Structure 1
């Protein structure tokens, strides 16, 4: 674990030195940047607070509270005893060891190393098991949603993002409270000259919370290389080329010149136009399929690729700025879009790349990303910026003339495949096809209310959405499920995520009152239950965001343990971590929809967003669950909740 932390820190340090040297030597014009931040991009990084390790007694208390709605009385008593024994014995020793180790590694967080290990040691295929997607909203100018124009504009905006980041000119990621003084240029100029060791404190005093940006360097030129037992993250910042995939073929061309300046947009357009017009038949053995394999199997096949003389080709793939996937499909609805952006056909992707921008024939665009290197905060910032830049100042107009001059410099990569590698591609594609055949995705829009109506009732919109999921599952299956909601801990140095546990005694009591009314339920009584759910969910969310959840603490303690304590062997611990409902929300006008596969075979993957006047859900599941029926139950639950918000009694 210490080696992993040091390797990550060294990799980032090398990248920062490289980027700074490019910053000094680059002669780029302002047109090549998104903006020029007054405060340097990484100015707050040194002074960020460290992720706290919760008190063990608080962790056990929160853990037991989360177990209560999932267990009957006898099960809870048994789990409570095991937990208290852990608190007094082995858990106390492990906690002390974790605190001592954390004090020796003040450059990072206590969760960073174990979290990297968890991701990189996982042997399941990345597709469906780890990589999520975020879909971009359409370009407001409909003619710019033509595939070539949209792909070229998103590529040029992504290069601007890259250059702005590496020049230290990208506005630092800051969470602002309302009416924050930290938004003003005057304050930013003051902070700019503050020592980096004090910058966070100045911003905090002004009501703003700078966020960790240590993951951003992995957005570009990075890939997850399969290795036996544990994969490796590799970043090659000298790469100047883009990787483009179409019909399973792989192409590269430079998007940066030798001086680090952006290639002319017309040149980008010409190269993409040439790729889109290439009529070479699809390869019989597309190498992208190999990235859908079990990681150990793929590691062995990659070694065979190297032995077969593909070292330079793989280096070109790994070191590409990012991957652009041009898909020959049209996506008329959310369901088909979700399937395509989450997994596609399994051959027009290189799932190992840290970042893939996908553009369909109708201009529908999305980002699919490998998850080990980072979380949604960095990817969402990238998505927001390229959407805004590509729509406000598009680099290429539809039907505009090309650059002219020399033939486009895009070239198609060629892999040398022997019989064993060809067979590996065939097996990988067959396994992929079987896996995605069992995946169902469905979507729903509830248009009878949203954030504004919920806030008017002084309730949390997220709490209402999560309660609707609890009610829906209870209505459909008659039980309260183990539920996971992702929460970022980017307010801390090298923070990753924490788990919010939306299922509580409050949601169970409220859900049962709505779903199983044994008598007439008056609106005031139900409103009081909704209020208690909202208040409790708000506390859980705040605790998680401040690093005071219980999941990551218990995970880190288990990572330290040389043997399995009775606490971790308790069936209740396995059950609460068998997240039947895995949920995540993204709030941005640039996001069309987002999604991911369930994390367990009998689970549901719930991507959702509460907009001002509507609520959207994008849900995935395997044959063990009826996705469409779940969404029908979510709609019924929301109808009941909003009826109560309108003062109507609930009667069955």
Structure 2
């Protein structure tokens, strides 16, 4: 009231009374609205900074946590839009220096059978103490200072130094893949499956653009950061001499998709001449035309092979051969597309063969720089290849789940497998797909040929096994009163020890999307507790009761580490930030180099299942054969394994196990057998309990 009186008294007296009242009311209303908006944002951020709920069971929450959850729902709104909670998310905290150093030293201790006698371990401990009392506090202050003004003190460094500065080929080493339904396929017609898939992905994009997509919320209360969704579409990784660039194209330049057939690229507009989206039936016609045209004008073009080589080499080739003329125009069309769709001429009878092809292709035709590419095979099966720098697997999995759920829940295909026409929809005139051309000089042709040879050699070296464990799933594991993820990680430790006779530094990805611009944190699954469990399983003198006690202790430790990582209490990203600050200030630290250069011999990741509330229950008999097995990635080190897994419901677990054939010590098929053997042994512990 005092504010309104102040405004009234300071308005010019020549202004009529009624106009002054209107202006004062409008000014007061606007001021009140802005104050209310910022107050709501501040209150919600304060509420979301509380993470104690994660350490309480869903059905055993304290009254204070229950009250907190009610307040979060009231402040955030019952139907938040896609990005409505972004500005209210808390900032990623900088962990304590002492805590991170202590956690790191504790995490590597299990690698040494007798750490107190190991010169290497004792040296690392001594270096840690020197860093703690010397350079460490100075670097810590720099991170804290950055956290005061940056939305996320880690995000820009993570994008640049972990992904975009990597010079190794991104195929196999960085990109990952996703499969479609496990045992069921909605249609065997490649054209119809591709048409409907393209339509659903474009529909997902429209919902994102209009902020109509329901944001992901944990326990129906806590929102996750949705920033990565902004880069799903119209995004491309551009190679650079020293560092790549992640380029997002505006809607004014990105009004088309690229469809590839037999090495020929076609530019397809995503709307008709009236701006209406293309229907699945229209896309069927467009794709049929493309297939006929490609078969008639077949020319073996393998320009995409260049995206699979060393990044610095690709940048130099791009600058030399693609900076002008028709090559520049075609390249711009490919890079500015909403996404790519590949009409492949192959089909595969097993998940392993299909997953391997999705990850690296034939070395000729996949454009690995694109944010994602849809691949459709001749038998109607499909999958996705995803460039990793723009976002993590759960984001792409959400997009894929949207498409796959539509296929399961809605009648999208008729009895002949063709797309069902949309009712009450009249498609306007549309543009014919445009075949894109290249100017391949003899020199460029020679470079492309060498790239194809290089890619195919790398492809042959990859071993991938995708297997389905059906003896039991998380339903039985929950009866053991342990976390399913922790149980699986213990099984992986047991299998690896059987495979190699030793323990390995193990990486498991955990998300930090409870914070603004959060991505991932590392959970180091190898712990002293998991080592004790594995040794007990290999010791005939231990009873089952002792083994069960050690298993539960190891699982409890792992669950605590996972929760801490999600809550910003992990230490690996902190050590990385300290290393970047150290190099930026011109210093050198043996401790930081040792902490970051240790190889991840066993790299693992659990893929999310059922991120959408509309997705049917995986345990329902009608849907058990329709669940997605998830996706996978290549091994992080040449002498290690890459293991991703999906837990769809209570009765099965899918595993994707990768390794290099050139390493005589690793074998994906052998590891899968040892893993299943370990699962059987762990189950037998409880059969006599």
- Structure 1's 555 and 112: CA in aligned 2 closer, same or farther, altered over 3 A? same
Q: Would you say the 8 A contact 2:486–2:559 is kept in 1?
A: yes
Alignment map for 1:497-646 (pairs within 5 Å): 497-515=520-538, 517=539, 519-561=540-582, 562-570=586-594, 574-575=597-598, 578-588=599-609, 590-611=627-648, 612-622=650-660, 623-624=662-663, 625-646=666-687
Q: Which residue, 172, 176, 183 being the options, matches 2:215?
A: 172
Q: Distance in 2 between matches of 1:401 and 1:613?
A: 34
**Is structure 2 residue 449 aligned with structure 1 residue 426?**
yes
2:286 is the alignment partner of 1:271: yes
Equivalent in 101, 111, 114 of residue 158 of structure 2: 114
Structure 2 Cα separation of the partners of residues 482 and 143 of structure 1: 42
Q: CA deviation at 1:308?
A: 4.9
| Structure 1 segment 332-481 matched on structure 2, within 5 A | 332-393=349-410, 397=414, 398-399=417-418, 409-481=432-504
SS of the residue corresponding to residue 144 of structure 1 reads coil
Query: Which has the larger displacement, 262-271 or 69-78?
Result: 69-78
Inter-CA distance 58–302: structure 2 relative to 1 (3 Å threshold): same
Contiguous gaps of at least 5 residues in structure 1:
1-36, 181-207
Q: Give 1:295 deviation, angstroms.
A: 0.7
Cα deviation code 1:81-124 (max 9, x no counterpart): 2112211111111111111122121x334333333332111111
Looking at structure 1, the residues matched to 676 and 259 of structure 2 have their Cα atoms a distance apart, in angstroms, of 40
User: Can you give the 5+ residue segments of structure 2 that lack an aligned partner in the other structure?
Assistant: 1-77, 610-617, 619-626
- Deviation string 1:346-383 (CA, Å, 9 cap, x unpaired) is 22211100011111112222121111111122211111
Deviation of 1:405 (Å): 9.7
Distance of 1:115 and 1:92 partners within structure 2? 25
Alignment of 1:18-33 (within 5 A): none
Q: Hey, what's the Cα distance between the residues in 2 that align with 1:308 and 1:273? A: 30
Whether 1:39 and 2:80 are equivalent positions in the alignment is yes
Worse-matched range after superposition: 277-286 or 588-597: 277-286
Show the counterpart of 2:42.
none
Within the candidate set 201, 206, 210, 1:158 is matched to: 201
> 2:316 aligned to 300, 310, 315, which one?
300
Q: Which residue in 1 is equivalent to 2:130?
A: 85
- Does structure 1 conserve the Cα–Cα contact (< 8 Å) formed by 2:326 and 2:437? no
- Output one character per residue of 1:314-351: Cα deviation in whole Å (capped at 9) or x when no partner: 11111111111121111211111111111110222111
Q: Distance in 2 between matches of 1:626 and 1:399?
A: 42
> Is the 1:116–1:373 contact (alpha carbons within 8 Å) kept by the matching residues of 2?
no
Paired position in structure 1 for 2:505: 482
Question: Aligned equivalents of 1:443 and 1:164: distance in 2?
Answer: 33
* C-alpha contact (below 8 Å) 2:93/2:147 kept by paired residues: no
For the Cα contact (< 8 Å) 2:394–2:607, is it kept in 1?
no
Change (3 A) 1:44 1:143: closer
Identify the match of residue 62 of structure 1 among 103, 107, 110.
Answer: 103
Instruction: Within 5 Å, give how 1:91-240 maps onto structure 2.
Output: 91-105=136-150, 107-137=151-181, 142=185, 144-176=187-219, 180=220, 208-238=221-251, 239-240=254-255
- Inter-partner Cα distance in structure 2 for 1:408 and 1:268: 12
1: CA distance, partners of 2:430 / 2:206 = 26
Instruction: Using the TM superposition, give the Cα deviation of residue 244 of structure 1 relative to its aligned residue in structure 2, in angstroms.
Output: 0.9
**In 1, Cα distance between equivalents of 2:274 and 2:309:** 38
Deviation of 1:147 (Å) = 1.2
In structure 2, what is the equivalent of residue 196 of structure 1?
none
| Deviation sequence 1:401-454 (CA, Å, 0-9, x none) | 999997971122111121221111111101001111111112333222210111
Contact 1:269 1:396 in 2 (8 A): no
Query: Is 2:312 the counterpart of 1:291?
Result: no
Q: Secondary structure at the match of 1:58?
A: helix
Aligned-partner Cα distance in 2 for 1:490–1:407: 41
- 2: CA distance, partners of 1:395 / 1:435: 39
Query: Higher RCO, 1 or 2 (CA under 8 Å, sep at least 6)?
Result: 1
> What per-residue deviation string (whole Å, max 9, x for no partner) do you get for residues 595-640 of structure 1?
1110111111111123412222211111311222212211121111
Contact 1:484 1:500 in 2 (8 A): yes
The 1:395–1:340 alpha-carbon spacing in structure 2 relative to 1, beyond 3 Å, is: same
Tell me, in whole angstroms, the C-alpha distance in 2 between the residues paired with 1:474 and 1:421: 48
1:293 shift after superposition: 1.3
Aligned pairs, number: 575
Q: Structure 1 61/265 Cα, relative in aligned 2: closer, same or farther at 3 Å?
A: same
Deviation at 1:60, TM superposition (A): 0.9
Residue 6 of structure 1 corresponds to: none
Does the 8 Å CA contact 2:465/2:657 hold for their aligned counterparts? yes
Map of 1:244 onto structure 2: 259
Q: Distance in 1 between matches of 2:658 and 2:176?
A: 12
The superposition leaves residues 161-203 of structure 1 with CA deviations (integer Å, 9 ceiling, x where unpaired) of 0101101111112112xxx5xxxxxxxxxxxxxxxxxxxxxxx
Which moves more between the two structures, 159-168 or 607-616? Answer: 607-616
Q: Equivalents in 2 of 1:544, 1:647: separation in Å?
A: 35
Measure, in 2, the Cα distance between the counterparts of 1:143 and 1:380: 19
**How many angstroms apart in 1 are the aligned matches of 2:80 and 2:513?**
19
* Distance in 2 (alpha carbons) for counterparts of 1:108 and 1:613: 39
Q: Partner of 1:216: helix, strand, or coil? A: helix
Give the superposed CA RMSD: 2.1
Change (3 A) 1:354 1:143: closer
Q: TM-score, normalised by structure 1?
A: 0.84
Structure 1 position 400, deviation (Å): 5.6
For residue 629 of structure 2, give the secondary structure of its aligned residue in structure 1: strand
Secondary structure of 1:463 counterpart: helix
User: SS where residue 187 of structure 2 aligns?
Assistant: helix
- Residues 567 and 143 of structure 1, relative CA distance in 2, 3 Å threshold: closer
- Is contact 1:506-1:529 (8 Å) kept? yes
Deviation at 1:287, TM superposition (A): 1.0
Does the CA contact (< 8 Å) of 1:305 and 1:416 recur in 2?
no
Which TM-score applies when normalising by structure 2?
0.80
